[in-house]
Protein backbone atom coordinates (compact mmCIF):
# COMPACT_ATOMS: atom_id res chain seq x y z
CA UNK A 1 0.00 0.00 0.00
CA UNK A 2 1.33 3.42 -1.00
CA UNK A 3 0.08 6.27 1.18
CA UNK A 4 -0.09 9.69 -0.47
CA UNK A 5 -0.95 13.09 1.01
CA UNK A 6 -1.84 15.91 -1.38
CA UNK A 7 -1.52 19.48 -0.09
CA UNK A 8 -2.95 22.46 -1.97
CA UNK A 9 -3.67 26.10 -1.13
CA UNK A 10 -6.12 26.28 -4.05
CA UNK A 11 -9.27 24.18 -3.90
CA UNK A 12 -12.88 24.77 -5.00
CA UNK A 13 -15.30 26.49 -2.59
CA UNK A 14 -18.93 27.61 -2.73
CA UNK A 15 -17.71 31.10 -3.65
CA UNK A 16 -15.22 29.87 -6.26
CA UNK A 17 -16.48 26.41 -7.25
CA UNK A 18 -14.05 25.96 -10.15
CA UNK A 19 -10.88 27.49 -8.76
CA UNK A 20 -8.36 24.69 -8.48
CA UNK A 21 -10.90 22.18 -9.79
CA UNK A 22 -8.06 20.31 -11.51
CA UNK A 23 -6.49 19.58 -8.10
CA UNK A 24 -9.76 18.04 -6.93
CA UNK A 25 -10.06 16.08 -10.18
CA UNK A 26 -6.53 14.73 -9.77
CA UNK A 27 -7.23 13.77 -6.15
CA UNK A 28 -10.45 11.95 -7.09
CA UNK A 29 -8.70 10.14 -9.94
CA UNK A 30 -5.78 9.03 -7.73
CA UNK A 31 -8.16 7.91 -5.00
CA UNK A 32 -10.03 5.72 -7.48
CA UNK A 33 -6.92 4.44 -9.27
CA UNK A 34 -6.34 1.14 -7.46
CA UNK A 35 -6.50 -0.61 -4.12
CA UNK A 36 -2.73 -0.21 -3.78
CA UNK A 37 -3.11 3.56 -3.19
CA UNK A 38 -4.38 5.28 -0.06
CA UNK A 39 -4.76 9.00 -0.82
CA UNK A 40 -5.64 11.88 1.54
CA UNK A 41 -5.80 15.60 0.85
CA UNK A 42 -5.22 18.69 3.01
CA UNK A 43 -6.48 21.79 1.26
CA UNK A 44 -7.41 25.44 1.66
CA UNK A 45 -10.55 26.52 -0.16
CA UNK A 46 -10.26 29.50 -2.50
CA UNK A 47 -12.43 32.34 -1.19
CA UNK A 48 -12.77 36.10 -1.45
CA UNK A 49 -11.19 37.49 1.75
CA UNK A 50 -9.58 40.61 3.17
CA UNK A 51 -5.91 40.61 4.19
CA UNK A 52 -6.89 39.70 7.73
CA UNK A 53 -9.17 37.01 6.34
CA UNK A 54 -6.31 35.60 4.28
CA UNK A 55 -4.10 35.37 7.38
CA UNK A 56 -6.87 33.61 9.31
CA UNK A 57 -7.44 31.30 6.35
CA UNK A 58 -3.77 30.25 6.35
CA UNK A 59 -3.79 29.77 10.13
CA UNK A 60 -6.80 27.47 9.81
CA UNK A 61 -5.00 25.65 6.99
CA UNK A 62 -1.99 25.12 9.26
CA UNK A 63 -4.16 23.83 12.12
CA UNK A 64 -5.89 21.43 9.72
CA UNK A 65 -2.50 20.18 8.53
CA UNK A 66 -1.51 19.39 12.13
CA UNK A 67 -3.99 16.53 12.09
CA UNK A 68 -1.90 14.75 9.45
CA UNK A 69 1.44 14.91 11.29
CA UNK A 70 0.89 11.66 13.18
CA UNK A 71 -0.10 9.74 10.05
CA UNK A 72 2.46 7.91 7.96
CA UNK A 73 2.72 8.82 4.26
CA UNK A 74 5.20 7.57 1.67
CA UNK A 75 4.82 10.66 -0.53
CA UNK A 76 3.60 14.20 0.07
CA UNK A 77 2.59 15.90 -3.16
CA UNK A 78 2.25 19.69 -2.88
CA UNK A 79 0.36 21.68 -5.51
CA UNK A 80 1.65 25.25 -5.99
CA UNK A 81 4.98 26.48 -4.64
CA UNK A 82 4.04 28.82 -1.80
CA UNK A 83 4.13 29.05 1.98
CA UNK A 84 2.33 25.74 2.42
CA UNK A 85 5.38 23.89 1.07
CA UNK A 86 6.66 24.46 4.61
CA UNK A 87 3.97 22.01 5.79
CA UNK A 88 5.66 19.23 3.84
CA UNK A 89 9.07 20.22 5.17
CA UNK A 90 7.75 20.23 8.75
CA UNK A 91 6.26 16.79 8.15
CA UNK A 92 9.63 15.52 6.91
CA UNK A 93 11.26 16.55 10.21
CA UNK A 94 9.20 13.79 11.84
CA UNK A 95 9.15 11.32 8.94
CA UNK A 96 12.56 11.33 7.29
CA UNK A 97 11.80 8.68 4.68
CA UNK A 98 8.82 10.52 3.19
CA UNK A 99 9.38 11.85 -0.33
CA UNK A 100 8.26 15.35 -1.29
CA UNK A 101 6.93 16.23 -4.75
CA UNK A 102 5.98 19.79 -5.72
CA UNK A 103 3.91 20.73 -8.78
CA UNK A 104 4.40 24.30 -9.97
CA UNK A 105 1.43 25.59 -11.93
CA UNK A 106 2.77 28.82 -13.41
CA UNK A 107 2.65 32.07 -11.47
CA UNK A 108 4.06 30.31 -8.41
CA UNK A 109 7.30 29.53 -10.26
CA UNK A 110 7.58 33.14 -11.47
CA UNK A 111 6.95 34.71 -8.06
CA UNK A 112 9.27 32.63 -5.92
CA UNK A 113 11.94 34.65 -4.15
CA UNK A 114 15.52 33.69 -4.93
CA UNK A 115 16.26 33.03 -1.28
CA UNK A 116 13.30 30.71 -0.80
CA UNK A 117 14.01 28.92 -4.05
CA UNK A 118 17.66 28.43 -3.10
CA UNK A 119 16.84 26.87 0.29
CA UNK A 120 13.69 24.76 -0.13
CA UNK A 121 14.77 22.58 -3.10
CA UNK A 122 17.41 20.94 -0.91
CA UNK A 123 14.59 19.15 0.90
CA UNK A 124 12.36 18.42 -2.10
CA UNK A 125 12.80 15.17 -4.02
CA UNK A 126 11.45 16.36 -7.36
CA UNK A 127 9.48 19.10 -9.08
CA UNK A 128 6.68 18.76 -11.60
CA UNK A 129 6.09 21.39 -14.27
CA UNK A 130 2.82 21.45 -16.21
CA UNK A 131 4.43 22.48 -19.51
CA UNK A 132 7.70 21.94 -21.39
CA UNK A 133 8.72 25.61 -21.48
CA UNK A 134 8.07 25.93 -17.74
CA UNK A 135 10.14 22.79 -17.07
CA UNK A 136 13.08 24.25 -18.98
CA UNK A 137 12.83 27.49 -17.01
CA UNK A 138 12.75 25.63 -13.69
CA UNK A 139 15.80 23.57 -14.66
CA UNK A 140 17.76 26.81 -15.13
CA UNK A 141 16.91 27.84 -11.57
CA UNK A 142 17.30 24.55 -9.71
CA UNK A 143 20.15 22.45 -11.01
CA UNK A 144 20.02 19.31 -8.86
CA UNK A 145 16.36 18.35 -8.42
CA UNK A 146 14.70 16.18 -11.08
CA UNK A 147 12.01 18.08 -13.00
CA UNK A 148 9.17 16.20 -14.70
CA UNK A 149 6.57 17.58 -17.12
CA UNK A 150 3.10 16.39 -16.12
CA UNK A 151 0.05 18.62 -16.72
CA UNK A 152 -3.07 18.47 -14.56
CA UNK A 153 -5.06 16.30 -16.98
CA UNK A 154 -8.35 16.57 -18.86
CA UNK A 155 -11.34 14.53 -17.74
CA UNK A 156 -12.47 12.85 -20.97
CA UNK A 157 -15.70 11.79 -19.24
CA UNK A 158 -16.63 15.49 -19.05
CA UNK A 159 -15.02 17.00 -22.12
CA UNK A 160 -15.88 15.26 -25.40
CA UNK A 161 -17.65 16.24 -28.65
CA UNK A 162 -21.42 16.73 -28.46
CA UNK A 163 -23.50 15.77 -31.45
CA UNK A 164 -26.17 17.95 -32.99
CA UNK A 165 -25.05 21.21 -31.32
CA UNK A 166 -25.42 24.42 -33.32
CA UNK A 167 -22.44 26.76 -33.47
CA UNK A 168 -23.85 29.72 -31.57
CA UNK A 169 -20.54 31.55 -31.20
CA UNK A 170 -17.71 32.18 -33.62
CA UNK A 171 -15.21 32.64 -30.79
CA UNK A 172 -15.08 31.81 -27.08
CA UNK A 173 -12.64 33.03 -24.44
CA UNK A 174 -12.40 31.12 -21.13
CA UNK A 175 -10.29 32.40 -18.26
CA UNK A 176 -9.70 35.28 -15.88
CA UNK A 177 -10.13 38.72 -17.43
CA UNK A 178 -6.61 39.92 -16.67
CA UNK A 179 -3.60 41.04 -18.77
CA UNK A 180 -1.73 37.75 -18.19
CA UNK A 181 -4.51 35.97 -20.09
CA UNK A 182 -4.37 38.46 -22.95
CA UNK A 183 -7.99 39.56 -22.47
CA UNK A 184 -7.07 43.10 -23.49
CA UNK A 185 -5.50 41.79 -26.71
CA UNK A 186 -8.73 40.03 -27.65
CA UNK A 187 -10.88 43.05 -26.74
CA UNK A 188 -8.83 45.31 -29.02
CA UNK A 189 -8.80 42.67 -31.79
CA UNK A 190 -12.61 42.60 -31.75
CA UNK A 191 -12.67 46.37 -32.17
CA UNK A 192 -10.19 46.13 -35.06
CA UNK A 193 -12.30 43.44 -36.76
CA UNK A 194 -15.36 45.68 -36.33
CA UNK A 195 -17.65 42.93 -37.65
CA UNK A 196 -21.15 42.95 -36.16
CA UNK A 197 -21.88 39.60 -37.84
CA UNK A 198 -19.42 37.74 -35.61
CA UNK A 199 -20.50 36.42 -32.20
CA UNK A 200 -18.41 35.99 -29.07
CA UNK A 201 -18.64 34.36 -25.65
CA UNK A 202 -16.51 35.48 -22.70
CA UNK A 203 -16.43 33.10 -19.71
CA UNK A 204 -14.84 34.39 -16.53
CA UNK A 205 -14.39 37.62 -14.61
CA UNK A 206 -11.69 40.11 -13.74
CA UNK A 207 -10.36 43.60 -14.23
CA UNK A 208 -11.56 43.85 -17.84
CA UNK A 209 -15.24 43.29 -16.94
CA UNK A 210 -16.18 46.91 -17.67
CA UNK A 211 -14.33 46.88 -21.02
CA UNK A 212 -16.27 43.80 -22.12
CA UNK A 213 -19.57 45.34 -21.02
CA UNK A 214 -18.69 48.40 -23.10
CA UNK A 215 -17.89 46.17 -26.07
CA UNK A 216 -21.30 44.50 -25.71
CA UNK A 217 -22.95 47.77 -26.76
CA UNK A 218 -21.57 47.37 -30.28
CA UNK A 219 -21.02 43.65 -30.86
CA UNK A 220 -22.76 40.32 -30.32
CA UNK A 221 -21.15 39.27 -27.02
CA UNK A 222 -22.42 36.82 -24.41
CA UNK A 223 -20.79 37.19 -20.99
CA UNK A 224 -20.85 34.28 -18.52
CA UNK A 225 -19.36 34.07 -15.03
CA UNK A 226 -18.95 30.81 -13.10
CA UNK A 227 -19.78 27.81 -15.26
CA UNK A 228 -19.82 24.16 -14.31
CA UNK A 229 -17.60 21.84 -16.30
CA UNK A 230 -20.65 20.39 -18.08
CA UNK A 231 -21.76 23.94 -18.94
CA UNK A 232 -18.28 24.64 -20.28
CA UNK A 233 -18.48 21.52 -22.41
CA UNK A 234 -21.67 22.81 -24.03
CA UNK A 235 -20.21 26.29 -24.56
CA UNK A 236 -17.10 24.81 -26.20
CA UNK A 237 -19.35 22.70 -28.44
CA UNK A 238 -21.36 25.80 -29.38
CA UNK A 239 -18.20 27.67 -30.43
CA UNK A 240 -16.25 27.45 -33.66
CA UNK A 241 -12.94 28.47 -32.05
CA UNK A 242 -11.46 29.04 -28.61
CA UNK A 243 -9.25 32.14 -28.52
CA UNK A 244 -6.53 32.45 -25.87
CA UNK A 245 -3.90 35.15 -26.59
CA UNK A 246 -2.27 34.48 -23.21
CA UNK A 247 0.98 36.11 -22.20
CA UNK A 248 2.08 33.37 -19.82
CA UNK A 249 0.09 30.14 -19.32
CA UNK A 250 2.40 27.29 -18.35
CA UNK A 251 -0.06 24.83 -19.88
CA UNK A 252 -3.53 26.31 -20.40
CA UNK A 253 -6.03 23.56 -19.56
CA UNK A 254 -8.86 25.33 -21.40
CA UNK A 255 -7.03 24.74 -24.68
CA UNK A 256 -7.17 20.95 -24.39
CA UNK A 257 -10.64 21.10 -22.83
CA UNK A 258 -11.90 22.87 -25.94
CA UNK A 259 -10.09 20.51 -28.29
CA UNK A 260 -11.45 17.45 -26.47
CA UNK A 261 -14.87 18.91 -27.35
CA UNK A 262 -13.86 19.19 -31.00
CA UNK A 263 -13.30 22.96 -30.94
CA UNK A 264 -10.13 24.20 -32.69
CA UNK A 265 -8.13 26.97 -31.04
CA UNK A 266 -6.28 30.21 -31.76
CA UNK A 267 -3.50 30.70 -29.21
CA UNK A 268 -0.34 32.69 -28.58
CA UNK A 269 3.10 31.16 -29.06
CA UNK A 270 3.99 30.86 -25.37
CA UNK A 271 4.19 28.31 -22.56
CA UNK A 272 2.14 25.17 -22.87
CA UNK A 273 0.33 26.34 -26.00
CA UNK A 274 3.12 24.85 -28.07
CA UNK A 275 2.75 21.52 -26.24
CA UNK A 276 -0.89 21.25 -27.34
CA UNK A 277 -1.32 22.98 -30.69
CA UNK A 278 0.08 22.17 -34.11
CA UNK A 279 -0.41 25.21 -36.33
CA UNK A 280 -2.88 24.55 -39.13
CA UNK A 281 -3.64 21.03 -37.86
CA UNK A 282 -5.78 21.39 -34.73
CA UNK A 283 -5.80 25.18 -34.53
CA UNK A 284 -3.61 28.21 -35.13
CA UNK A 285 -0.61 29.62 -33.27
CA UNK A 286 -0.09 33.39 -33.32
CA UNK A 287 3.44 34.25 -34.40
CA UNK A 288 2.77 37.76 -33.09
CA UNK A 289 0.65 38.18 -29.97
CA UNK A 290 -0.75 41.56 -30.95
CA UNK A 291 -4.33 42.80 -31.42
CA UNK A 292 -3.80 43.47 -35.13
CA UNK A 293 -2.31 40.04 -35.86
CA UNK A 294 -4.97 38.30 -33.77
CA UNK A 295 -7.67 40.19 -35.68
CA UNK A 296 -6.08 39.07 -38.94
CA UNK A 297 -6.00 35.41 -37.82
CA UNK A 298 -9.60 35.55 -36.54
CA UNK A 299 -10.72 37.04 -39.84
CA UNK A 300 -8.97 34.21 -41.70
CA UNK A 301 -10.56 31.59 -39.42
CA UNK A 302 -14.02 33.08 -39.93
CA UNK A 303 -13.67 32.62 -43.70
CA UNK A 304 -12.51 28.98 -43.62
CA UNK A 305 -14.53 26.69 -45.86
CA UNK A 306 -16.52 24.00 -44.07
CA UNK A 307 -14.33 21.12 -45.25
CA UNK A 308 -11.18 22.72 -43.81
CA UNK A 309 -12.97 23.61 -40.57
CA UNK A 310 -14.34 20.09 -40.07
CA UNK A 311 -10.84 18.66 -40.53
CA UNK A 312 -9.45 21.07 -37.91
CA UNK A 313 -12.25 20.10 -35.52
CA UNK A 314 -11.71 16.37 -36.08
CA UNK A 315 -7.97 16.74 -35.47
CA UNK A 316 -8.62 18.81 -32.35
CA UNK A 317 -10.89 16.13 -30.86
CA UNK A 318 -8.20 13.43 -31.09
CA UNK A 319 -4.88 15.27 -30.86
CA UNK A 320 -4.25 15.53 -27.11
CA UNK A 321 -5.27 12.15 -25.76
CA UNK A 322 -1.94 11.88 -23.90
CA UNK A 323 -3.20 14.66 -21.59
CA UNK A 324 -6.25 12.72 -20.41
CA UNK A 325 -6.74 12.58 -16.65
CA UNK A 326 -6.42 8.80 -16.80
CA UNK A 327 -3.00 8.98 -18.50
CA UNK A 328 -1.79 11.71 -16.14
CA UNK A 329 -2.88 9.68 -13.12
CA UNK A 330 -0.94 6.66 -14.40
CA UNK A 331 2.16 8.82 -14.84
CA UNK A 332 1.86 10.21 -11.31
CA UNK A 333 1.49 6.74 -9.81
CA UNK A 334 4.55 5.58 -11.75
CA UNK A 335 6.49 8.57 -10.39
CA UNK A 336 5.39 7.88 -6.81
CA UNK A 337 6.44 4.24 -7.16
CA UNK A 338 9.85 5.19 -8.54
CA UNK A 339 10.48 7.59 -5.64
CA UNK A 340 9.84 4.93 -3.02
CA UNK A 341 11.48 2.19 -5.11
CA UNK A 342 8.36 0.14 -5.79
CA UNK A 343 8.12 -1.45 -9.21
CA UNK A 344 4.93 -0.90 -11.21
CA UNK A 345 2.65 -3.89 -11.61
Model confidence over 30-63: pLDDT tens digits? 999 988 899 999 998 876 667 776 778 888 999 9
What pLDDT was estimated at residue 114? 52
User: How many CB atoms are located within 10 Å of the residue 51 CB?
Assistant: 7
Return d(Cα 116, Cα 107) in angstroms, integer.
Answer: 15
Residue 345 lies in a domain: no
- Nearest CA to 250 out of 321, 326, 150 is that of 150
**Same-domain status, 188 and 304:** yes
DSSP 284-306: EEESS-SHHHHHHHHHHHHT--H
Kindly indicate the confidence band of residue 109, based on its pLDDT and cuts at 50, 70 and 90.
Answer: low
DSSP symbol at 154? B
**Same-domain status, 44 and 133:** yes
**Same-domain status, 132 and 265:** no
Tell me, what CATH number does 78's domain have?
3.40.50.2000
Mean of the per-residue pLDDT values for the chain?
Answer: 90
What pLDDT was estimated at residue 203? 96
Kindly indicate the confidence band of residue 194, based on its pLDDT and cuts at 50, 70 and 90.
Answer: very high
Residue 299 lies in a domain: yes
Q: H/E element holding 3?
A: strand 2-11
Q: Is the pTM of this model over 0.85?
A: yes
Window from 109-123, 142-156, 258-272 with minimum mean pLDDT: 109-123
Residue 163 lies in a domain: no
**Same-domain status, 98 and 210:** no
Instruction: Provide the number of structural domains found in the chain.
Output: 2
- For the stretch 252-272, what's the b/e string if a residue is b when 16 or more beta carbons lie within 10 angstroms of its beta carbon? bbbbbbbbbbbbbbbbbebbb
Q: H/E element holding 128?
A: strand 126-129
3-state DSSP of 250-274: CCCHHHHHHHHCCCCEEEECCCCHH
**Same-domain status, 186 and 307:** yes
What pLDDT was estimated at residue 82? 80
Mean pLDDT score, 314-320: 95
- The residue that leads in pLDDT, 19 or 204, is 204
Percentage of the chain beyond pLDDT 90 is: 73
**Same-domain status, 179 and 106:** no
Cα 176 from chain centroid (whole Å): 12
What pLDDT was estimated at residue 116? 57
**Same-domain status, 178 and 296:** yes
Residue 134 lies in a domain: yes
Model confidence over 72-104: pLDDT tens digits? 999 999 998 888 888 999 999 999 999 999 998
Residue 284 lies in a domain: yes
List of E strands, 130-229: 147-149, 169-174, 199-203, 220-224
Mean pLDDT score, 66-73: 95
Return d(Cα 309, Cα 46) in angstroms, integer.
Answer: 39
Model confidence over 133-184: pLDDT tens digits? 888 888 887 767 889 999 989 999 999 999 999 999 999 999 999 999 999 9
Is residue 233 pLDDT above 50, yes or no? yes
Residue 164 lies in a domain: no
**Same-domain status, 333 and 287:** no
**Same-domain status, 137 and 189:** no
**Same-domain status, 73 and 198:** no
Is residue 317 pLDDT above 70, yes or no? yes
Residue 101 lies in a domain: yes
What pLDDT was estimated at residue 345? 47
What pLDDT was estimated at residue 178? 94
- Nearest CA to 145 out of 163, 120, 168, 165 is that of 120
**Same-domain status, 91 and 190:** no
What pLDDT was estimated at residue 139? 84
**Same-domain status, 36 and 90:** yes
What pLDDT was estimated at residue 343? 54
Those residues with Cβ within 8 angstroms of residue 163's Cβ, 6 or more apart along the chain or in another chain = none
Domain that holds residue 224: 169-321
User: How many CB atoms are located within 10 Å of the residue 287 CB?
Assistant: 11
95 within 8 A of 73, measured Cβ to Cβ = yes
Return d(Cα 51, Cα 12) in angstroms, integer.
Answer: 20
- The residue that leads in pLDDT, 14 or 320, is 320
Window from 128-137, 199-208, 324-333 with minimum mean pLDDT: 128-137
Please report, to the nearest 10 degrees, the dihedral formed by the alpha carbons of residues 266, 272, 277, 279 taken in order.
70
Mean pLDDT score, 255-273: 96
What pLDDT was estimated at residue 285? 97
Residue 212 lies in a domain: yes
Amino acid sequence: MIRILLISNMYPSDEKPYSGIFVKNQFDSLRNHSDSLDVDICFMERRFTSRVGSVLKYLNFFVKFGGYLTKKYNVIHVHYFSYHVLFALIYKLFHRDTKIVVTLHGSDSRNIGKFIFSIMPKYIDCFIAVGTQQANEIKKTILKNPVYTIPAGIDSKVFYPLEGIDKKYDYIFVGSFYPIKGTDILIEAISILNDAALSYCFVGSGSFDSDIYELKKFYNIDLRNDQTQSQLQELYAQSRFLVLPTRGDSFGLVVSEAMYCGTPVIVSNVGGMKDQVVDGVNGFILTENTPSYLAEKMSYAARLDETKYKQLAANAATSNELYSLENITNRLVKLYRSLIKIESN
